[in-house]
Chains A and B, each alone.
Chain A
Amino acid sequence: MSAVQMSTLTSPMARMIGRRLLLSVLVLFVVSILVFGATLLLPGDPARAILGQQATPERVAALTEQLGLDRPVWERYFSWLGGILTGDLGFSAATQGPVSELLGGRIAASGLLLVLTALISTPIALALGAWAAVRRGTRTDSVLSGSSLVLAALPEFVIGVLLVVLLATSVLQILPSVTIARPGEPVWTRPEQLVLPVLTLALVVIPYVVRMTRATLSEALDAGFVEMARLKGLPERTVLMRHAVPHTIGPVAQVFALQLAWLAGGVVVVEFLFRYPGIGEALIDAVANRDVQVVQAITLIIAAFYVLVNLAADVAGILADPRIRTSSGVDA
């Protein structure tokens, strides 16, 4: 094993992973320029936007200098980027406080939503997708495929509203339709308020993962080596677990990542719908108030999350493939 590890330093696998890493950093860099550049399109004076229309010219001038708005654009960009990297996310015009203070607890709340959804939906979706693939062409398959087709079509808020109609208002009234925790109180103190947001998000991602899992596993089951495994007289369990399933690891890791990334977007609408105190709700408020520094910080956080998750999926895909793992670059 040690010899293998020695050679990984220069192996194509290490190079591929290194390349992906570099690309991700590059993409994030360009993303940060894009997000920063967006503010330059903003009409009017940011200092006045923060202080409001009644502010005296002196105060505006002072804040302009304090925020460094009189410096050249690239200098402002780098000091902004430096701030972001050191945890200074800027200043919120709406709350008149640092953005990091506003977002601290909200990031944890959104993270909780994400993690719970992923934990619940991943095993269910993988199992359902695999079940549909193994029972291809049967009634089970058409029911599973049909219902995931319908669910996959629905926008997040439509699922959310329908769940509210069914479980919280018109039909049954067994769950709170909005978050009931008082401001500042951690969301997990009242677990029942997490049910509907998590359920909504789960119903958004499950059909997608089911369809992808079914497709990937079906493809593996159609492969020549699976037919060969059956012709060797291997038990169906072995055929499935040893020959078919390992081929789905790379693609399924990708799906898992995509699902997390998807959730990062879906969380915005769902938090708004349930008035859930996460970064999604903060983003909507900030957009409505045109509180640009908050919008910048949140979009950057979501983009970084998105890029990192996709990077992780790519790396998982590379590690799962012995064709890449074992090539030394010489006999390739």
Chain B
Amino acid sequence: MTADTTTATISCSGLRVATTGGREVLHGVDYAVAPGEILALVGESGSGKTTAALAALGHFRTGLGCTGGTIAFHGHTETHDDLLALPEATIRGVRGRLVSYVPQDPALSLNPLLRIDTQVSEVLVAHGYTGDVAARVREVLDDVGLPTDDTFLSRYPHQLSGGQQQRVGIAAAFANRPDVVVLDEPTTGLDVTTQDLVLDTVRDLVTRSRTAALYITHDLAVVAGLADRVAVMQGGEVVETGTVTQVLTAPEHPYTRDLIAAVPDLNRAVERENAPSGDDAGEPLLRVTGAGKRYGPKTVLDGIDLELWPGECLMLLGESGSGKTTLARGLAGLLDLDDGSLTLNGEPLATPRSYAQLRSVQYVFQSPFASLNPRRTIASSLEVPLRHLTDLDAGAREARVLDMLNQVRLDESFAHRYPGGLSGGERQRAAIARALVTAPNVLVCDEVTSALDVSVQARIIDLLATVRRELGTAMLFVTHNIALAREVADRIAVLQGGRIVEQGTVEEVLADPQHSYTRELLEHTPSMTAAR
């Protein structure tokens, strides 16, 4: 089923966009959204989804220009045959009134120098709202579940939480009761509970006001729970369109199929052999007892007890602010913990650690864009730990570096390349190779997939599984995404507010969560099987 272009509120056809340098980035994109419908525009970074959506407001970012296509608009009150052909003054009157936009990052798109009141009311004033502006501001803030008292209205953006900021953005977008709303990944950076609330708000507003919504996202699980129809974008083209059920359950295009396969899902059984998990006999590889860390008056970690057994993968699950990175870095020796003790193979980890201990516990950083020195070749970066932590001579170091590149499936040609010439996935492989080069027993992986696209994330997770199988390295996998649990971990430890609130095997925790926080996380995590 495709929204009929005659009944659609907005329909884009044959949209072509090119850079001022002449490189085409959109090669004839079509989409249409009917009143009260949510169309999800899904794609990975670089697919052109934001460019395609911004065109609905007649807006192209600096360096981009439209080279073909039309966007027809049929609203409740007005009709335009082609938004792209409108003169600048007319399209300005369309933006924010008939077609509005909810930006990706509210922290960047709210003006830090203006009060909340102004940022919502200005869109009413600019379009000559005839009613009581102040009353409408309160009404729409109430619609998105924000307070409406004077104190709140006179706040500045930095005084709001991320979820509140995003809802201010949504309120401003709905203030003029537009016919079309474009939402550009509005839940990026929000924790799952807040994301769920924001998505509910959007769904509710769209249904009530019969708005046509274009929802841009990379997250198919969100699509499953929110959208009516999906358009999948790849390399500047829409490769598949259909209802959510059609596309998610019977994808036709190979890219869509791969994308769906790559999405981690809680409810999907994953075939993987069980790693030799800790038999109760013997000694844990790494033991943490009563670990604590404070920054000033703020307690970040409080009485953490953890064990990591040889060869197992423990998922450390926590949302932003839970202290998971602090704990991971404490275990890796990147920072000193205030309380508690750490033992490796029964021996206490000294401060500073011995070379053997440094070799033994290694850490992979979240962003491969920041963890490799742009001025070093990959081989040179990999050689640093060998040079400082081992006695190997130059020849042996080189051999070891090539060996490790091979291990992470990067061929020898990468050795002499610089990170700038590598993709995110390739960089993260190199970073993992650097962590493995000293043959550690413990690998701490801190959100190693969160800076990467879904398909790349899937391949990095495959790689980590292979590494564990082939090298027997035990792994602490730090993440905010519980959906990855079945794919990577044997056991889960849930961290909230600096405390471990729940610990157990993946099966136990997912099937029968003991703590309310875990239950809440499970409940709000979007899932592919929840297609509408």
A residues with CB within 8 A of B: 222-225, 227-236, 238, 242-243, 246-247, 321-323, 326, 331
Contacts and interface: CB of A to CB of B under 8 A. Distances in A.
B127 interface: yes
Contacts of B112: 225, 322-323
Contacts of B114: 242-243
A253 to B, nearest CB: 15
By size class, the interface of chain B is 20 to 34
Given A224-B103, A323-B158, A233 B127 contact: yes
Contact of B57 (A229, A231, A326): A231
B97 interface: yes
A281 B126 CA distance: 57
Contact of B126 (A238, A321, A323): A238
A234 B126 contact: yes
A233 B105 contact: no
A233 B97 contact: yes
Contacts of B111: 225, 228-229, 243
A224 B105 contact: yes
B272 to A, nearest CB: 42
A323 B156 contact: yes
B2 to A, nearest CB: 27
A269 to B, nearest CB: 40
B240 interface: no
B7 to A, nearest CB: 25
B95 A225 contact: no
Q: Which 9 A-B pairs have the closest CB atoms?
A: A224-B108, A233-B96, A233-B95, A232-B96, A228-B109, A225-B111, A224-B109, A231-B101, A232-B123
A247 B92 CA distance: 23
A217 to B, nearest CB: 14
B350 to A, nearest CB: 36
20 contacts: A225-B111, A228-B109, A228-B169, A229-B122, A231-B57, A232-B100, A232-B172, A233-B94, A233-B97, A233-B126, A234-B96, A234-B123, A242-B114, A242-B122, A243-B111, A243-B114, A321-B113, A322-B113, A323-B156, A326-B156
Given A228-B103, A232-B126, 12 more contacts: A225-B108, A225-B109, A225-B110, A233-B92, A234-B126, A235-B126, A243-B114, A247-B113, A322-B113, A323-B112, A323-B156, A323-B158
Contacts of A225: 108-112
Interface in B99-149: 100-101, 103, 105, 108-114, 122-123, 126-127
Contacts of A233: 92-97, 123, 126-127
A139 B97 CA distance: 34
Question: Interface of chain A, helix or strand or loop or mixed?
Answer: helix
Interface in B351-408: none
B108 A231 contact: no
Contacts of A229: 111, 122
B109 A232 contact: no
Question: Interface of chain B, helix or strand or loop or mixed?
Answer: mixed
Contacts of A238: 122, 126
Contact of A231 (B96, B105, B113, B156): B96
Contacts of A224: 103, 105, 108-109
Nearest to B156: A322
Contacts of B100: 231-232
Nearest to B89: A235
B468 interface: no
Nearest to B120: A232
Contacts of A246: 113
B159 interface: yes
A232 B114 CA distance: 15
A246 B156 CA distance: 15
Contacts of A242: 114, 122
A236 B103 CA distance: 19
A231 B59 contact: yes
Nearest to A322: B156
Contacts of B109: 224-225, 227-228
A170 B111 CA distance: 55
B122 A234 contact: yes
B159 A326 contact: yes
A324 to B, nearest CB: 10
B158 A232 contact: no
Nearest to B59: A231
A231 B95 contact: yes
Contacts of B159: 326, 331
Nearest to B107: A224
A243 B158 CA distance: 16
Contact of A230 (B59, B122, B158, B172): B59
Contacts of B61: 227
A229 B126 CA distance: 10
Contacts of A227: 59, 61, 103, 109
A323 B157 CA distance: 9
A215 to B, nearest CB: 16
Contacts of A323: 112, 156, 158
A231 B54 CA distance: 9
